[in-house]
Amino acid sequence: MQIRICGLGLALMLAISSPGWGAADGNVPPNKYETAFQRLKTLVGEWQEEDEPRRQVTYHLTGNGSALVEEFRGRPTMVSVYHMDGEALRLTHFCNAGNQPRMMASSYNPASDALKFDFVDVTSLSSPTAYHTRKLEVIFQDEDHVQLRFNGRKKGVDVPGEVSLIRRR
Amino acid sequence: MRSNLSKRIAIMVVMACVAMSAYAAESAESNSYDAALEQLKTLVGEWDVKDSPSSVTYHLTGNGTTLVEEFRGRRGMASVYHMDNGNLMLTHYCSAGNQPRMRAVAYDPAEGSVKFDFIDVTNLSEPSAYHTRELEILFQDKDHVQLRFIGQEEGEEVAVAHSLVRQE
pLDDT digits (tens, 9 = 90+) for B101-160: 999 999 999 999 999 999 999 999 999 999 999 999 999 999 999 999 999 999 999 999
Residue A23 lies inside a defined structural domain of this protein? no
The Cα of B65 is separated from the nearest Cα of chain A by a number of Å equal to: 6
| CATH architecture type of domain B37-166 | Beta Barrel (2.40)
Q: B62 to chain A: which residues are within 8 Å by CB?
A: 77-79, 94-98, 100
Residue A41 lies inside a defined structural domain of this protein? yes
pLDDT greater at residue A75 or residue A71: A71
Question: What angle (nearest 5°) sits at the alpha carbon of residue A10, between those of residues A9 and A12?
Answer: 65
Residue A22 lies inside a defined structural domain of this protein? no
Which residues have a Cβ under 8 Å from the Cβ of B12 and sit 6 or more positions away? none
Residue A16 lies inside a defined structural domain of this protein? no
Residue ranges of alpha helices (H) inside chain A are 2-17, 32-41
Residue A13 lies inside a defined structural domain of this protein? no
> Domain residues for A140?
31-167
Residue A21 lies inside a defined structural domain of this protein? no
Q: A81 to chain B: which residues are within 8 Å by CB?
A: 78, 80, 91, 93
Residue A128 main-chain phi, psi, to 5 deg: -60, -25
A88 → chain B, closest CA residue: B123
**Cα distance between residue A45 and residue A62, in whole Å:** 13
Residue A115 sits in a domain whose CATH number is 2.40.128.20
pTM: 0.84
Task: Please determine, for residue A9, whether its predicted confidence score (pLDDT) is greater than 70.
Answer: no
Beta-strand relationship, B45-49 and B156-166: antiparallel
For the question of an ipTM over 0.90, the answer is no
Average per-residue pLDDT for chain A = 87
B125 → chain A, closest CA residue: A86
- Quick: pLDDT tens for A79-99: 999 999 999 999 999 999 999
Average pLDDT over residues B86-90: 97
Residue A10 lies inside a defined structural domain of this protein? no
In 3-state terms, what secondary structure has residue A123? strand
Beta-strand relationship, B45-49 and A157-167: unpaired
Domain boundaries, chain B: 37-166
pLDDT for the residue A46 = 98
Who among B63, B75, B96 is closest to A98 (CB)?
A: B63
The Cα of A11 is separated from the nearest Cα of chain B by a number of Å equal to: 33
pLDDT greater at residue B6 or residue A162: A162
Size of interface A-B (CB pairs under 8 A): 99
DSSP annotation string for B117-148: EEEEEES-SSTTS-EEEEEEEEEEETTEEEEE
Domain count within chain A? 1
- Quick: pLDDT tens for A15-50: 433 433 334 445 666 799 999 999 999 999 999 999
